[in-house]
Protein backbone atom coordinates (compact mmCIF):
# COMPACT_ATOMS: atom_id res chain seq x y z
CA UNK A 1 0.00 0.00 0.00
CA UNK A 2 1.16 3.51 -0.80
CA UNK A 3 0.20 6.55 1.29
CA UNK A 4 0.63 10.12 0.11
CA UNK A 5 1.78 12.43 2.87
CA UNK A 6 0.01 15.79 2.77
CA UNK A 7 3.13 17.82 3.52
CA UNK A 8 6.24 19.33 1.93
CA UNK A 9 8.35 18.43 4.99
CA UNK A 10 11.01 15.81 4.18
CA UNK A 11 11.85 15.30 7.88
CA UNK A 12 8.24 14.39 8.67
CA UNK A 13 8.34 11.96 5.74
CA UNK A 14 11.45 10.27 7.18
CA UNK A 15 9.88 9.91 10.64
CA UNK A 16 6.66 8.49 9.17
CA UNK A 17 8.30 6.19 6.61
CA UNK A 18 10.53 4.66 9.29
CA UNK A 19 7.55 3.52 11.39
CA UNK A 20 5.08 2.65 8.62
CA UNK A 21 7.59 0.62 6.59
CA UNK A 22 7.22 -2.03 9.32
CA UNK A 23 3.68 -2.59 7.95
CA UNK A 24 4.89 -2.80 4.38
CA UNK A 25 3.37 0.63 3.77
CA UNK A 26 5.26 3.03 1.52
CA UNK A 27 4.95 6.77 2.11
CA UNK A 28 5.75 9.54 -0.37
CA UNK A 29 5.40 13.31 -0.41
CA UNK A 30 2.46 14.87 -2.27
CA UNK A 31 4.84 16.46 -4.79
CA UNK A 32 6.11 12.95 -5.69
CA UNK A 33 2.65 12.21 -7.12
CA UNK A 34 2.33 15.62 -8.73
CA UNK A 35 -0.07 17.08 -6.17
CA UNK A 36 0.47 20.74 -5.51
CA UNK A 37 -2.41 21.63 -3.17
CA UNK A 38 -1.56 23.90 -0.26
CA UNK A 39 -4.39 23.47 2.23
CA UNK A 40 -5.21 26.37 4.52
CA UNK A 41 -5.20 25.19 8.12
CA UNK A 42 -8.41 26.91 9.15
CA UNK A 43 -9.33 24.46 11.92
CA UNK A 44 -9.08 25.29 15.61
CA UNK A 45 -8.11 21.74 16.63
CA UNK A 46 -5.32 19.41 15.52
CA UNK A 47 -8.01 16.91 14.49
CA UNK A 48 -9.78 19.39 12.19
CA UNK A 49 -6.56 20.49 10.47
CA UNK A 50 -5.24 16.95 9.94
CA UNK A 51 -8.57 15.97 8.38
CA UNK A 52 -8.64 19.04 6.09
CA UNK A 53 -5.14 18.24 4.76
CA UNK A 54 -5.60 14.49 4.30
CA UNK A 55 -9.01 14.90 2.64
CA UNK A 56 -7.74 17.52 0.15
CA UNK A 57 -4.72 15.45 -0.91
CA UNK A 58 -6.78 12.24 -1.17
CA UNK A 59 -9.26 14.06 -3.42
CA UNK A 60 -6.49 15.62 -5.56
CA UNK A 61 -4.48 12.39 -5.96
CA UNK A 62 -7.18 9.70 -5.83
CA UNK A 63 -4.82 7.83 -3.49
CA UNK A 64 -4.95 7.11 0.26
CA UNK A 65 -3.56 10.22 1.95
CA UNK A 66 -2.15 10.77 5.40
CA UNK A 67 -1.68 14.07 7.21
CA UNK A 68 -0.36 15.06 10.57
CA UNK A 69 -1.16 18.22 12.42
CA UNK A 70 1.03 18.88 15.36
CA UNK A 71 2.17 21.58 17.67
CA UNK A 72 3.50 22.64 21.00
CA UNK A 73 1.05 23.44 23.81
CA UNK A 74 2.45 25.43 26.73
CA UNK A 75 0.42 25.40 29.96
CA UNK A 76 1.38 28.92 31.08
CA UNK A 77 0.27 30.27 27.70
CA UNK A 78 -3.15 28.62 27.89
CA UNK A 79 -2.14 25.91 25.40
CA UNK A 80 -0.52 28.32 22.89
CA UNK A 81 1.01 28.24 20.37
CA UNK A 82 -0.98 24.99 19.79
CA UNK A 83 -2.45 24.74 16.29
CA UNK A 84 -0.68 28.02 15.48
CA UNK A 85 2.82 26.63 16.30
CA UNK A 86 4.14 26.98 12.74
CA UNK A 87 2.86 30.59 12.54
CA UNK A 88 3.75 31.76 16.08
CA UNK A 89 4.98 35.39 15.99
CA UNK A 90 3.92 35.93 12.37
CA UNK A 91 5.44 35.17 8.98
CA UNK A 92 8.72 37.07 9.58
CA UNK A 93 10.13 34.46 11.97
CA UNK A 94 12.06 31.26 11.28
CA UNK A 95 12.31 28.27 13.65
CA UNK A 96 15.08 29.91 15.70
CA UNK A 97 13.09 33.15 15.93
CA UNK A 98 9.98 31.32 17.13
CA UNK A 99 12.05 29.53 19.80
CA UNK A 100 13.48 32.87 20.98
CA UNK A 101 10.01 34.44 21.09
CA UNK A 102 8.69 31.53 23.13
CA UNK A 103 11.54 31.86 25.66
CA UNK A 104 10.89 35.61 25.87
CA UNK A 105 7.15 35.12 26.46
CA UNK A 106 7.82 32.50 29.13
CA UNK A 107 10.19 34.56 31.26
CA UNK A 108 9.34 33.99 34.92
CA UNK A 109 6.55 31.54 34.04
CA UNK A 110 6.08 27.83 34.79
CA UNK A 111 7.63 25.68 32.03
CA UNK A 112 5.24 22.70 31.63
CA UNK A 113 4.38 21.91 28.00
CA UNK A 114 3.46 19.06 25.68
CA UNK A 115 3.81 18.25 22.02
CA UNK A 116 0.66 16.91 20.36
CA UNK A 117 0.34 15.09 17.05
CA UNK A 118 -2.83 13.97 15.34
CA UNK A 119 -2.62 11.73 12.30
CA UNK A 120 -5.53 11.29 9.94
CA UNK A 121 -5.70 9.03 6.93
CA UNK A 122 -8.43 9.45 4.32
CA UNK A 123 -8.99 6.53 1.96
CA UNK A 124 -10.73 6.90 -1.42
CA UNK A 125 -13.57 4.61 -0.17
CA UNK A 126 -14.51 7.22 2.47
CA UNK A 127 -12.79 5.52 5.40
CA UNK A 128 -11.17 7.94 7.87
CA UNK A 129 -8.61 6.66 10.38
CA UNK A 130 -7.30 8.91 13.16
CA UNK A 131 -4.76 8.61 15.97
CA UNK A 132 -3.35 11.05 18.56
CA UNK A 133 -0.07 11.11 20.45
CA UNK A 134 1.18 13.40 23.21
CA UNK A 135 4.62 13.89 24.71
CA UNK A 136 4.93 15.86 27.95
CA UNK A 137 8.02 17.91 28.76
CA UNK A 138 9.14 21.38 29.76
CA UNK A 139 10.45 24.45 27.96
CA UNK A 140 14.21 24.84 28.43
CA UNK A 141 15.75 28.17 29.45
CA UNK A 142 17.94 28.32 26.32
CA UNK A 143 18.06 26.35 23.03
CA UNK A 144 20.20 23.19 23.17
CA UNK A 145 21.13 20.70 20.43
CA UNK A 146 21.38 20.68 16.66
CA UNK A 147 19.00 17.89 15.57
CA UNK A 148 15.34 17.88 14.60
CA UNK A 149 13.35 20.95 13.58
CA UNK A 150 10.90 23.54 14.89
CA UNK A 151 10.84 23.82 18.67
CA UNK A 152 13.10 20.77 19.24
CA UNK A 153 16.00 22.83 20.74
CA UNK A 154 13.76 24.26 23.49
CA UNK A 155 11.64 21.17 24.27
CA UNK A 156 13.28 19.58 27.30
CA UNK A 157 12.69 16.07 28.62
CA UNK A 158 13.42 16.15 32.38
CA UNK A 159 13.86 12.34 32.61
CA UNK A 160 16.52 12.30 29.86
CA UNK A 161 17.94 15.74 30.77
CA UNK A 162 18.05 16.49 27.04
CA UNK A 163 16.04 18.46 24.51
CA UNK A 164 14.45 16.80 21.48
CA UNK A 165 17.25 18.39 19.42
CA UNK A 166 19.84 16.42 21.42
CA UNK A 167 18.27 13.05 20.57
CA UNK A 168 18.98 10.85 17.56
CA UNK A 169 16.01 10.43 15.17
CA UNK A 170 15.48 6.91 16.60
CA UNK A 171 15.50 8.17 20.20
CA UNK A 172 13.07 10.95 19.30
CA UNK A 173 10.74 8.56 17.44
CA UNK A 174 10.63 6.24 20.45
CA UNK A 175 9.03 8.88 22.70
CA UNK A 176 7.77 11.74 20.54
CA UNK A 177 4.16 12.78 20.05
CA UNK A 178 4.47 11.86 16.35
CA UNK A 179 6.06 8.49 17.14
CA UNK A 180 3.23 7.68 19.55
CA UNK A 181 0.54 8.85 17.12
CA UNK A 182 2.16 6.86 14.32
CA UNK A 183 2.31 3.67 16.37
CA UNK A 184 -1.36 4.14 17.34
CA UNK A 185 -2.12 4.82 13.68
CA UNK A 186 -0.16 1.75 12.63
CA UNK A 187 -2.48 -0.36 14.84
CA UNK A 188 -5.59 1.34 13.39
CA UNK A 189 -4.38 0.70 9.84
CA UNK A 190 -3.40 -2.88 10.62
CA UNK A 191 -6.89 -3.49 12.01
CA UNK A 192 -8.48 -1.82 8.97
CA UNK A 193 -6.40 -3.89 6.53
CA UNK A 194 -7.27 -7.04 8.49
CA UNK A 195 -3.62 -7.95 9.12
P1 LIG B 1 2.22 21.41 11.11
O2 LIG B 1 3.15 21.10 10.00
O3 LIG B 1 1.05 22.25 10.76
O4 LIG B 1 1.83 20.19 11.89
O5 LIG B 1 3.06 22.38 12.05
C6 LIG B 1 3.47 22.00 13.27
C7 LIG B 1 4.45 22.99 13.83
O8 LIG B 1 4.61 22.60 15.19
C9 LIG B 1 5.84 22.87 13.20
O10 LIG B 1 6.07 23.84 12.23
C11 LIG B 1 6.75 23.08 14.39
O12 LIG B 1 6.90 24.45 14.63
C13 LIG B 1 5.95 22.49 15.54
N14 LIG B 1 6.28 21.04 15.70
C15 LIG B 1 5.49 19.97 15.45
N16 LIG B 1 6.12 18.82 15.71
C17 LIG B 1 7.35 19.18 16.11
C18 LIG B 1 8.49 18.42 16.50
O19 LIG B 1 8.53 17.17 16.51
N20 LIG B 1 9.56 19.15 16.85
C21 LIG B 1 9.59 20.50 16.85
N22 LIG B 1 8.57 21.25 16.48
C23 LIG B 1 7.44 20.60 16.11
Name the CA dihedral angle for 70, 31, 153, 140, rounded to a multiple of 10 degrees. Answer: -10
pLDDT in tens, the chain (195 residues): 899 999 988 888 887 888 788 888 999 999 999 999 989 999 999 999 999 999 999 999 999 999 999 999 999 999 999 999 999 999 999 999 999 999 999 999 999 999 999 999 999 999 999 999 999 999 999 999 999 889 999 999 999 999 999 999 889 989 999 999 999 998 999 899 887
Shortest-distance Cα residue to atom 22 of ligand 1: 150
For ligand 1, whether the C-beta of 46 sits within 6 Å is no
Could you tell me if 72 and 126 are in contact, meaning their C-beta atoms sit under 8 angstroms apart?
A: no
From ligand 1's centre to the CA of 86, what distance in Å?
6
State the pTM of this model: 0.93
For ligand 1, whether the C-beta of 153 sits within 6 Å is no
The beta strand positions in 81-127, using DSSP E, are 112-122
Say if residue 55 is preceded by a cis peptide, omega within 30 of 0.
no
Q: Which of 131, 170, 132 is nearest to 19 (CA)?
A: 170
Amino acid sequence: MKLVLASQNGKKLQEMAQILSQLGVEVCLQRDVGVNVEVEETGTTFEENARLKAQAVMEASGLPAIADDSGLCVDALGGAPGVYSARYGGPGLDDAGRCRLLLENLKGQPRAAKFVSVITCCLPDGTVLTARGECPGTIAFAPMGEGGFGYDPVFFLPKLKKTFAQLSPEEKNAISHRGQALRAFQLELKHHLGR
